[in-house]
A and B are shown apart, each in its own frame.
Chain A
């Protein structure tokens, strides 16, 4: 049996995923990173995008949408700390579209583009758009 990684995906609210994997790829802010077993200790900042986890059988993979966060690799353990994350299969297209419309409407009502509320809504909007994009 080849060496494997333990991959955890956690958000502040809950642990989304924790299983063995042979390969993990994540969207770091300076480009996509792929992690294989025996990777050096590594910490990186992630942007919004897709996380791919390949199972040790090399056939099946799981896909997650994340809205940004951190990646930590140490001793064949990959921890992805995501601000929010969702399994792509769990994305409900209709409700995502609905919330996107709502968030966009709220955003248009705001003038102060530097305020924390604006930033928060903007990142929500980006995340919803990403979810819709990935389910296409």
Chain B
């Protein structure tokens, strides 16, 4: 019976799909550990830098420092969108890209020009389809971000900010809350938002007693660009960890779905086989009865 063969074929195809998604799930699980370790390894530096910056800017209200100064009129905004190079990670990329697009539309409706920087291959077709030309694209590093990549992006936006080509820089990425959950995060990179740091890291008790060499201004001038580098790097590694988490989750539910389909198909197959056997017996019995007459 053709029907039986068809069902068997489908079962086999779903089975091999399940094998693939299951393998991807295992691979992601293994990668999560490495990615999370990297986030943890980069955190002490980031935290120490935040603390230093908070201490330095304590009391500085409106600094002349280019990266700290808010531009009076916001005419150009730069969005740094961090996504992954590979798909099959559930809503991981779409959520970031949708948010980026919504922000872009919001700014455009206010008459603000928007520049887009993409880190991760999956952002390219999304904006190409919407006929948006990103000014910078970094790809093939989403799973393995390096500080050099972050420094390049950072150098670009710092340059643009100081030349008044952009008035605000915003970073969009998925934050890995834990191995399974991701939070869409939107952070302002430039002008450096000191208030948000101070809330978490402020230790004002010591701020006044710290000696700076050569001077607090000079340290600040050095520190700000590095802080921007670090912030972007932190976004990249965080997103890499979130990517693996999202993929494991997506692949786990794909594997579970495949198992369900296989169960259903197996039942169909069994009942079809039983029907075929019954028909055959009926025919034999019928045939024998006909011969006896």
Contacts and interface: CB of A to CB of B under 8 A. Distances in A.
A40 B209 CA distance: 8
A25 B196 CA distance: 33
Interface stretch (A6-14, A54-62, A87-95): A6-14
Contact of A120 (B49, B148, B211): B148
Interface string B204-230: 001001111110001100110010011
Interface stretch (B40-48, B117-125, B271-279): B40-48
B210 A41 contact: yes
A30 B212 CA distance: 12
B45 A41 contact: no
Nearest to B206: A41
B45 A72 contact: no
Contacts of A50: none
Nearest to A120: B151
B152 A116 contact: yes
A44 B151 CA distance: 22
Contact of B211 (A8, A30, A43): A43
B223 A70 contact: yes
Given A45-B219, A70-B219, A74-B206, A12 B230 contact: yes
Interface string B145-185: 00110111001100100000000000000000000000000
Contacts of B159: 116
B210 A42 contact: yes
Interface of B: 38, 41-42, 44-46, 48-49, 52, 55-56, 147-148, 150-152, 155-156, 159, 206, 209-214, 218-219, 222-223, 226, 229-230, 233
